[in-house]
Homo-oligomer: A and B are copies of this chain.
Amino acid sequence: MTFAEILELHPKPWRVDRSTILRCIQECIDCLASCTACADACLSEEDLPSLVRCIRLDLDCADVCASTERVLIRQTEPNTRLVWTTVEACAAACGACAEECERHAAHHEHCRLCAEVCRRCKAACEALLMALPPFQA
Enumerate chain A interface residues (CB-CB to B < 8 A). 1-3, 5-7, 9-12, 25, 29-30, 33-34, 36-38, 40-41, 43-46, 48-49, 52-53, 55-57, 59-64, 66-67, 69-71, 73-79, 81-82, 84-86, 88-89, 91-93, 95-96, 109-110, 113-114, 116-117
A79 touches B67 (CB 8 A): no
Q: Quick check: B93 and A10 within 8 Å, CB to CB?
A: no
Q: How far is the CB of A15 from chain B (nearest CB, A)?
A: 14
Please state the number of chain copies in the assembly: 4
**A113 touching B5 by the CB < 8 A rule?**
yes
What chain B residues lie within 8 Å of A88 (beta carbons)? 85, 88-89
Question: CB-nearest residue of chain B relative to A69?
Answer: B33
- Of B36, B46, B73, B92, the residue contacting A81 (CB under 8 A) is B92
Docked-complex contact A71 and B63, CB < 8 angstroms: yes
Given contacts A1-B29, A6-B113, A9-B109, is CB(A74)–CB(B56) below 8 Å? yes
A5 to B2, CA, bound (A): 21
- Pair A48/B41 contact, Cβ less than 8 Å: no
Contact A44 B75 (CB under 8 A): yes
